């Protein structure tokens, strides 16, 4: 049997509004910029990581900065929206904060009880904040500008846009070992968390819509947690045996990754929990300086000339 999927690791999207993106996620939502580096596959683009004070898996939202791109179009085969968790008593705080900063926000009930807030980021990515008593990450997103009692608690759930839910549902149930949480929702539970949910995936089906187009506001991929390289290698072998087109293991410095598309076409990543974001800089200076992998360090001067200007903080 393949090793456990441990939960959500991170979500990566594309922004065409670099400064607005940085300001929104660090100042408005109070996340910590824990790493500024480049897209290792395209070093002309920044890759920024926002999360808790240490950038723990489950709290991470990451962005490729591409100011040259037009807005994305939405369609099946992509992650549609991101929901973040907050303590139940913090939802009114977030509603007032978003409203006070000019972010249009709605408060609506969820299908399973607690309220949620619905709003969009500067690129139009649909975001939600769910009042939830269960942390879907191990810790709250401390280290940013929000008091700990109100701080966001990491990624609550993701909505995938599918032309047909059947094969994706079957994949989540039989391969990743998710459990049904209603007709269109799947949750991952692990004994180590006292049977608490460590991830939730909601599915939205639209059979007659064309696939989306990459651009600003496109959610590029969704990464799930695996413990380490041996676990990752087992998943690579299993998925390859099942006829998925899986990338080789890629060194992302802070974790290693494999990539494949689930049956509905959404790009999935399996990322290791370590070595983590302190591997190339200490905790106290996380996110303050551009970090490059060793194979790009000789190109630093040229890379810096191509990156967009940003006022970091």
Report the Cα–Cα distance between both ends of the chain, in Å, rounded. 46
259 closest CA partner among 242, 293, 295, 235: 235
What Cα–Cα distance (Å) separates residue 173 from each residue in 29, 169, 177?
Answer: 33, 6, 5
- Give me the count of residues in the chain: 313
Task: Tell me the pLDDT band of 242, cut-offs 50, 70 and 90.
Answer: very high
Q: What is the mean pLDDT of the chain?
A: 92
The predicted model scores a pTM of: 0.95
Of the two residues 49 and 142, the one the predictor is more confident about is 49
What's 170's domain CATH number?
Answer: 3.10.180.10
Task: Tell me the pLDDT band of 59, cut-offs 50, 70 and 90.
Answer: very high
At residue 67, does pLDDT exceed 60?
A: yes
Number of domains in the chain: 1
Given this model, what pLDDT does residue 196 score?
A: 56
Reduced to 3 states (helix: H, G, I; strand: E, B; else coil), residue 179 is strand
Backbone angles phi, psi at 154, to 5 degrees: 95, -165
Percent of the chain residues past pLDDT 90, beyond the cut: 81
Task: Tell me the pLDDT band of 268, cut-offs 50, 70 and 90.
Answer: very high
Q: What is the DSSP letter of 158?
A: E
Domain assignment of residue 140, yes or no: yes
Given this model, what pLDDT does residue 136 score?
A: 52
Domain assignment of residue 94, yes or no: yes
DSSP H/E element including 227: none
Domain containing residue 177 = 7-306
Are 297 and 38 in contact, with CB atoms under 8 Å apart? no
Are 181 and 201 in contact, with CB atoms under 8 Å apart? no
Domain assignment of residue 92, yes or no: yes
CA gap 108, 106 in Å, rounded: 6
160 closest CA partner among 75, 60, 64: 75
At residue 48, does pLDDT exceed 90?
A: yes
At residue 94, does pLDDT exceed 50?
A: yes
Backbone angles phi, psi at 306, to 5 degrees: -95, -15
| Average pLDDT value for residue range 249-262 | 98
Domain assignment of residue 313, yes or no: no
Q: Which class for 99: exposed (0-12), middle (13-18), buried (19 or more C-beta within 10 A)?
A: middle
Are 48 and 307 in contact, with CB atoms under 8 Å apart? no
Domain assignment of residue 311, yes or no: no
Of the two residues 137 and 117, the one the predictor is more confident about is 117
The per-residue b/e assignment along 69-94, b for 16 or more CB within 10 angstroms, e otherwise, is beebebbbbbbbbbbbbbbeebbebb
At residue 101, does pLDDT exceed 70?
A: yes
Domain assignment of residue 43, yes or no: yes
Of the two residues 299 and 210, the one the predictor is more confident about is 299
176 closest CA partner among 284, 296, 76, 266: 266
Of the two residues 281 and 211, the one the predictor is more confident about is 281
At residue 80, does pLDDT exceed 70?
A: yes
| Average pLDDT value for residue range 173-192 | 86
Given this model, what pLDDT does residue 174 score?
A: 97
DSSP H/E element including 165: helix 165-174
| Average pLDDT value for residue range 207-213 | 89
> Which of 24-28, 130-134, 216-220, 280-284 shows the lowest mean pLDDT across its residues?
130-134
At residue 181, does pLDDT exceed 50?
A: yes
12 closest CA partner among 64, 83, 52, 75: 64
Continuous H helices in 181-264 = 229-241
Given this model, what pLDDT does residue 237 score?
A: 98
Domain assignment of residue 59, yes or no: yes
149 closest CA partner among 225, 94, 205: 94
Instruction: Please list the residues that pair with 155 across neighbouring strands.
Output: 84
Are 240 and 246 in contact, with CB atoms under 8 Å apart? yes
Given this model, what pLDDT does residue 192 score?
A: 46
């Amino acid at each position: 049997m393949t090793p456990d999927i441990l939960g959500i690791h991170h979500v990566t999207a594309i922004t065409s509004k670099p400064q607005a993106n940085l300001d929104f996620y660090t100042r408005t939502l109070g996340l910590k910029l824990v790493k500024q580096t480049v897209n290792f596959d395209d070093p002309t683009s920044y890759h920024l990581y926002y999360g808790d004070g240490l950038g723990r898996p489950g709290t991470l939202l990451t962005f490729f900065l591409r100011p040259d791109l037009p807005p994305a179009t939405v369609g099946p085969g992509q992650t549609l929206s991101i929901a973040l968790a907050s303590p139940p008593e913090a939802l009114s705080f977030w509603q007032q904060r978003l409203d006070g900063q000019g972010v249009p926000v709605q408060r609506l009930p969820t299908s399973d009880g607690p309220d949620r807030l619905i709003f969009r980021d500067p690129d139009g990515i649909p975001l939600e904040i769910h009042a939830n008593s269960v942390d879907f990450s191990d810790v709250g997103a401390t280290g940013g500008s929000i008091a700990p009692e109100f701080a966001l608690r990491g990624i609550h759930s993701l909505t995938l846009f599918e032309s047909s839910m059947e094969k994706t549902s079957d994949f989540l149930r039989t391969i990743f070992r998710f459990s049904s949480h209603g007709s269109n929702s799947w949750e991952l539970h692990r004994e180590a968390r006292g049977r608490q949910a460590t991830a939730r995936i909601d599915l939205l089906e639209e059979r007659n819509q064309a696939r989306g187009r990459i651009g600003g506001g496109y959610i590029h991929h969704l990464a799930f947690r695996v413990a380490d390289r041996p676990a990752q290698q087992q998943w690579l072998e299993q998925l390859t045996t099942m006829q998925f087109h899986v990338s080789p293991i890629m060194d992302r410095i802070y974790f290693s990754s494999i990539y494949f598309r689930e049956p509905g076409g959404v790009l999935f990543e399996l990322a290791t929990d370590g070595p983590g974001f302190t591997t190339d800089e200490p905790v106290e200076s996380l996110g303050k300086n551009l970090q490059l992998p060793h194979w790009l360090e000789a190109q630093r001067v040229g890379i810096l000339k191509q990156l967009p200007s940003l006022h970091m903080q």
